[in-house]
Structure 1
Amino acid sequence: MKYAILVNEGPYQHQASDTAYQFCKAAIERGHEVFRAFFYHDGVHNGSRFPVPPQDDRNIPVQWSELAAAHDIDLVVCIAAAQRRGILDEGEAQRQGKDGDNIAPGFRISGLGQLIEAGIQCDRLLVFGD
């Protein structure tokens, strides 16, 4: 089965990101494909490279980056939601006159068309969070 994932909550405000991540790991271990994870609303905070959780806690953005690198998962952050919340890649930072970017490795910024495409390309689109 080919899955697309929609994450609507931030990494530390809600269990949705953890649950989505664990689902992706389990699905891959069982031979399924995770085509794309799309991060929307507060879920875009999963794509920031700046969180510094305590040493005994999990670093959810790093976990997503490592999973994507290991299994070729497309991690897409919604551009409109990201800009509102200060998540910028290098190109967006330059366009907006900012002096730096903060997107985590393996994530990219794009529009809602990527979510629609994922829904069309995949067998299932699973939504995590409100």
Structure 2
Amino acid sequence: MSQLCFVVQTGPYTYQNLDTAYGLAKAALAKGHGVSLFLYIDGVMAANKNIDAPGERNLAAMLQELAGAGAQIAACGACSKFRGVTEEMYIDGAEMGSLVDMADMLQEADVLVNLGF
């Protein structure tokens, strides 16, 4: 099976990039593929479990679902700190990472999907 890596650079409620990553990652996991997700720049905001999103589009819960299904999720630590998001605020299954972690994810990936500006 393939290993897919998603890099999401945009904020969770600004663009639909995280929704796209979620849908593709969920489908890939269902087919037995490996999935890693690196949240970068404003994308780190999606890992904040304290977001109280109205309606069905709770992106933190969607990320939590991916983590529970086996996706590796890391958020850039420097980006998080600059935005006031601490590791304690992350959803379960997400870890504070660095660009070294992103490089490792990229090296292991067969497919890269970069969702940015």
Is this a same-fold pair by TM over 0.5?
yes
What is the root-mean-square deviation in Å for CA atoms of aligned residues?
A: 1.2
- In structure 2, distance between residues paired with 1:124 and 1:6: 11
User: 1:74: how far off?
Assistant: 1.2
What are structure 1's unaligned runs of at least 5 residues? 90-100
When Rg is computed on C-alpha atoms for both structures, the one with the higher figure is: 1
- In structure 2, distance between residues paired with 1:31 and 1:69: 14
Q: Percent identity?
A: 31
- In structure 1, distance between residues paired with 2:72 and 2:56: 25
Q: Which amino acid aligns with 2:41?
A: H
- In structure 1, distance between residues paired with 2:64 and 2:23: 14
- In structure 1, distance between residues paired with 2:32 and 2:42: 30
TM-score (norm 2): 0.92
Q: 2:86 aligns with which of 85, 88, 101?
A: 88
Match of 2:44 in 1: 44
What are structure 2's unaligned runs of at least 5 residues? none
TM-score (norm 1): 0.83
- In structure 1, distance between residues paired with 2:31 and 2:40: 27
Q: Which amino acid aligns with 1:50?
A: N
Following superposition, which runs of at least 4 residues in structure 1 exceed 6 angstroms of deviation? none
